[in-house]
Amino acid sequence: MSRSAHPAGPRYADVLPEGHYSAPPADLNQLDQGVWARTVARTPEGAVTVGGLDVQQLAEEFGTPAYFLDEADFRARCRAWRDAFGADADVFYAGKAFLCRAVVRWLHEEGLNLDVCSLGELTTALAAGMPAERIAMHGNNKSSEEIHRAVEEGVGRIVLDSFQEIARVAHAAAALGKRQRVQIRVTVGVEAHTHEFIATAHEDQKFGLALAGGAGGAGGAGGAAGGPAAEAVRRVLQLDSLELVGIHSHIGSQIFDTSGFEVAAHRVVGLLRQVRDEHGVELPEIDLGGGLGIAYTPDDDPSEPQEIAKALRDIVTRECEGAGLTVPRLSVEPGRAIVGPTAFTLYEVGTVKPLDGLRTYVSVDGGMSDNIRTALYDAEYTVALASRASTAGPMLSRVVGKHCESGDIVVRDAFLPADLAPGDLLAVPATGAYCRSMANNYNHALRPPVVAVRDGAARVILRRETEEDLLRLDVG
């Protein structure tokens, strides 16, 4: 048996990557407006407030760690997307970013539709009164139960992701005596990440059906004669219990420009044209998915919904005119771009450990159980001392959690005031998306609450887990 030991400790671990953090900001107390929820501010005494409420009082009332969500900001973002796309398009909020019944009600009131991708999300949506016809069901491996329930409830569309699923949904709809509206999810050979996208010949991922393949070859417009997507269209059109309403494409996440969507729309319209030529039908809908980026740090510069809507509409119109097609109804599915910027996580500092010549490790009372994105994706966040202002100089810090794992990092590189001390409150902005929804019980951590704040009032919309909750699942 062979064993190897790795030298442990920060001196042997990662060396500071070049350019991973920028110079300290001129004013550590300043809150960058692009990164924080709209109603976040500092009082003259120095404490951070949201919706007019001081984080010190919020921490006292709701404890830490906790997510505080700016309801006015959430609703404003819903309206901005809704207004930007207008009456001839649909905005589906991607529920996986963050979903609870209060959020469903806000979406309903603000006129948005909702994407779900599991029975749990569907149940939450229906329990909060979202009309089934405004729900779309996603997922690459929907169970028979999920499919049956979605069809039975009458969801507005099911997005088909495989040949097996075409048969399963057709079967469920037939058994229930229904005709189910469906879209086919295609992979267009575009992968977008943050500031760049890659157009690939092969769609090496689990989602969707490839446009490319067969006689048409990869990549070109309409070059899908023999591709799986074209074959899926053929099969769906033959099934009486399915109504094919459109083609769906989702190219990635945290995207900052529309060039990836341009390639995707070009290729999707190529398929629409082929469908018309082959079957004599013009499909009425095109869904370009979500993935629009937000500002996690002041370096990120996302576009406004107005600009995105105009760009996507122009692209689709141009492509369809070029192909001699009537412009289909457009839909988009922002998740992160709506909820991401609206919340911050509030933590209490437990320990401050300076490592000479390196940085200071600041331990907070949460970690990878409430925000796994740093560990999972090397995501970047910023952080601010929230319970008070400080005139101390900058201290290069790493904000870490309390879990038994050295990768338990919340903010890899941050400048915090050098007088930081146990008991101070830290706030990490832009944690509204994929933080609570990906939260876990590692080390039997209790998942934090989500507190909605609006006009000087705060209310829990998702309560903190308790030890009782943990023990209830453990049947002994």
Ligand X SMILES: *Cc1c(COP(=O)(O)O)cnc(C)c1O
Contacts to ligand X by CB under 6 A: 94, 96-97, 115, 138, 250, 253, 289-292, 333-337, 433
Whether residue 291 is annotated as binding a ligand: the answer is yes
**CB-nearer residue toward ligand X: 228 or 432:** 432
Q: How far is the CB of 424 from ligand X (least distance, A)?
A: 32
Question: Position of tokens 């004669």?
Answer: 225
Task: With CA atoms as reference, report the closest residue to 143 among 125, 129, 161, 127.
Answer: 161
If you write DSSP's letter for every residue of 136-180 in order, what string do you get?
Answer: EE--SS--HHHHHHHHHHT-SEEEE-SHHHHHHHHHHHHHTT--E
Task: With CA atoms as reference, report the closest residue to 48 among 384, 456, 469, 399.
Answer: 384
Query: Which one of the listed residues 78, 117, 404, 435 is annotated catalytic?
Result: 404
Q: How far is the CB of 204 from ligand X (least distance, A)?
A: 17
- Which residue minimizes CB distance to ligand X? 335
Q: How far is the CB of 179 from ligand X (least distance, A)?
A: 23
**CB-nearer residue toward ligand X: 96 or 157:** 96
Task: With CA atoms as reference, report the closest residue to 248 among 139, 368, 107.
Answer: 139
H or E element that contains 473 = helix 467-473
**CB-nearer residue toward ligand X: 71 or 287:** 287
H or E element that contains 68 = strand 66-70
Told to judge if 404 belongs to the known catalytic residues of this protein, a careful annotator would answer yes
Q: How far is the CB of 307 from ligand X (least distance, A)?
A: 16
Whether residue 334 is annotated as binding a ligand: the answer is yes
Q: How far is the CB of 334 from ligand X (least distance, A)?
A: 5
Contact between 400 and 363 under an 8 Å Cβ cutoff? The reply is yes
- CA-CA distance, 328 to 330, in Å (whole number)? 6
- CA-CA distance, 69 to 32, in Å (whole number)? 17
**CB-nearer residue toward ligand X: 56 or 113:** 113
**CB-nearer residue toward ligand X: 186 or 385:** 186
- CA-CA distance, 2 to 263, in Å (whole number)? 51
Whether residue 359 is annotated as binding a ligand: the answer is no
Whether residue 333 is annotated as binding a ligand: the answer is yes
- Burial class for 138, CB neighbours closer than 10 Å (0-12, 13-18, 19+): buried
Whether residue 336 is annotated as binding a ligand: the answer is yes
Going by the annotation, the residues of the binding site for pyridoxal 5'-phosphate are 291, 333-336, 434
Catalytic residues: 404
